[in-house]
Structures are given as C-alpha cells and as structure tokens.
C-alpha cells in the first residue's frame, strides 16, 4: 500500500511573521509531507503589511524548504483547506489561553468541515510572542529584532517610518 501524501495548511495573519511562526513551520514539516502557509485576508484586522507583502516576506524565509509554500486566501479557513485538498490544519500553541480558543475552533472546524487540527507547542522562547504584541511594541519604539527574522525586522522598520511620520 502506497503511503498517502499528507498536506496541512498553517493559517494566520502573519502580520508580521515571527520566529514563533517559523518554529511551528519547522515542526510541522516534520509531521506532514507538505505545508502551505496560508496568509489570511481578514477584513476585521487592521494590518500593517498587505497580504502580498506578507506572502513575499514568508516566501523568502521558507525558500530553502521545498515542501513548504506560501499563499494568501480570502474567506473561511476550512473552505480554503478543502479547496487546496488539505488533510489537516496546523496550529501553534503558546499558552493555556490559546488552548481554550483553539480547542473551540478545532471542534467547530471538524464539525462543519470534517477537517482535523494538529497542534504543536511552540518552543519556550517564543511562548509569549504574537504578531499583535510585536506590532504594538515596535510602534511604541521597542526593539523587537530578536523576535522576528532579520528581513522582516528591516521591512518593519521601513514601514514604521512611513506610518509614524507626521502628516
């Protein structure tokens, strides 16, 4: 019997992508034959980077991993997963708060679309980071260079110069 090719999507806003996200990608590729990093276009969030910019930054970071690709999507994650033929949704967990939220989401996704969610714990050094927190600290002038990849940090600095300029 031939081994099944198992594909997962790793959805998120990735605004910006963090070292914690990269940790989840690297752990996920050990579990799945293929991982699609799925950059969501959320109408609710006020992103710092466009979906195209986020895809470009992430693609640079994973270009040396042949079984990882990056795409953007609109709409429900489960619909995108079905469209891409994904077997699972990959999610990272940082804290007990994440577990409660992600558990409800995973149960809903399984009930609505029949797709499983696989969770991986982030490494301890990334357990407190989030894109939202990094954006807030950076906007207030804090140094986040050790929490995000170097290419992302450079682009974040450039974007903050534009955002924080007086009109």
| Separation between Cα atoms, residue 87 and residue 160, nearest integer Å | 38
Contact 1, 73 (CB under 8 A): no
Averaged pLDDT of the chain:
91
Q: State yes or no: pLDDT of 71 exceeds 60.
A: yes
Domain ranges in the chain are 7-163
Tell me if residue 15 falls in helix, strand or coil: coil
Specify the fold of 7-163. Answer: Rossmann fold (3.40.50)
Q: Which sequence positions are flagged as catalytic?
A: 21, 45, 94, 131
Q: Count CA within 13 A, CB hemisphere, residue 52.
A: 0
pLDDT band at 88 (very low <50, low <70, confident <90, very high): very high
Beta partners for residue 116, in sequence order: 88
* Residue 142: how many other CB atoms lie within 10 Å: 12
Least confident stretch, 87-91, 96-100, 105-109? 96-100
The pLDDT tens digits for 15-69 are 999 999 999 999 999 999 999 999 998 767 678 999 999 999 999 999 999 999 9
pLDDT band at 77 (very low <50, low <70, confident <90, very high): very high
């Amino acid at each position: 019997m031939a081994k099944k090719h198992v594909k997962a999507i790793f959805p998120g806003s990735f605004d910006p992508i963090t070292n914690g996200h990269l940790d989840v990608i690297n752990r996920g590729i050990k579990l799945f034959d293929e991982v699609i990093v799925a950059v969501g276009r959320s109408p609710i969030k006020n992103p710092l980077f466009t979906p195209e910019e986020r895809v470009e930054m992430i693609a640079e970071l994973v270009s040396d991993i042949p079984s990882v690709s990056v795409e953007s999507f609109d709409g429900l994650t489960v619909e995108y997963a079905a469209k891409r033929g994904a077997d699972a949704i990959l999610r990272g967990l940082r804290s007990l708060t994440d577990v409660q939220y992600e558990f409800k989401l995973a149960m809903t996704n399984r009930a609505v679309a029949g797709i499983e969610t696989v969770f991986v714990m982030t490494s301890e050094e990334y357990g407190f980071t989030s894109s939202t927190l990094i954006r807030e600290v950076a906007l207030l002038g804090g140094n986040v260079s050790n929490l995000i990849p170097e290419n992302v940090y450079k682009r974040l600095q450039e974007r903050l110069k534009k955002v924080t300029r007086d009109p």
